[in-house]
Chains A and B, each alone.
Chain A
């Protein structure tokens, strides 16, 4: 039975039913791209395509792979040549000629995506390259144990380790016939009660990311978690309103990760004349901070110590001192699913003590670990309602690296706009990295 446009769209619609509103879905080339065409825009789905775009936002290859490895892909839809009952799969290019085909992003998807479904257009022994198999042909494998479900135009199969189970069947077909006709009886057993395949277009809308105020955006920030706090040290790029909301919420025992631990208030760092900026000190003097991970934790002036330094000297807070570039790279790695990396920074210094080290090409490097947090509180200039962000000037610096590295990233912006009002070429942080958006209240200055 050749693949017709009708059957291709049927597969795509059934596959689209696997997608939750607002989900991030990575699409392999070819048939999976049809899934984006049949998914209603109102579902707010983020499609990461093989051409490196995310809903039209152009990404570098590194950033696209970071989204996958960083754990942001809820569902990957692939179109492999072969799937085995234990969930391994072989890409089509490899299947044709392994000597010329690159592994592509399939390998990243296999290890990074939460779920992977395979589209299986034809069940046809005349096309032996596209098949369900009990074991793989002798070819390199893109993914091990990755495929959760195989969707064909007349049936759905679940890899169960040693065999596939036919779990759904099209209403106009008989499960026995499908298995027998396609010579799958050796690898497929039929579920006792296969469900009827549903080819209707899915619906639903994602929960809005826009929160009315800081209390709402921080409503579930508990005691004892790690929070990234944005900015370089001055009032530029700092989410003062959310910082005050966090103080009002009163969550305690926090580990804060930030470039400084609050110096603007005491030395006017980056602060216009005559102003006193709100900074991390509001959390420290309220007894909410247990530990800071920072590169510039104390005041550059010995005679004007910060709240953090005073608390540190009283033994009330711990400090993990990190070189600034190492902090930035630990955040970048954390957001990109890279668990650790070797850096030359700090080799031979106190920073290297207790860390693994390695000499590569005659130079000493130390092992540093990626950093992730439960929450990030960041600042941007504008967001659209999907969470795409642009920044102003040097206030991008730590905000843009923190956004991808937290489970819940909450952004404070000057302005919230509709989709399409930000130029995709200028978007710095794609909305997949942003879970909540709050507009800074009119008249709120960030100064005491």
Chain B
């Protein structure tokens, strides 16, 4: 599950103004893995994007990465 965390953290840090504020937690459930992303409040728009497009692109990458694994990855952006 480390790779899921790494992907989100790497991309989020590249997108935001304040990379030091980027934190990613992974919570493993039985069938799903929740990847919780938190960023500086001023950077929320950067990781969500217009109409949620950036968040959706991140979710697509998570889905592609977790396809091999039995568990489904869910991205939560904390506000």
Chains A and B bind each other: no
Residues of B in contact with A (beta carbons under 8 Å apart): none
Residues of A in contact with B (beta carbons under 8 Å apart): none
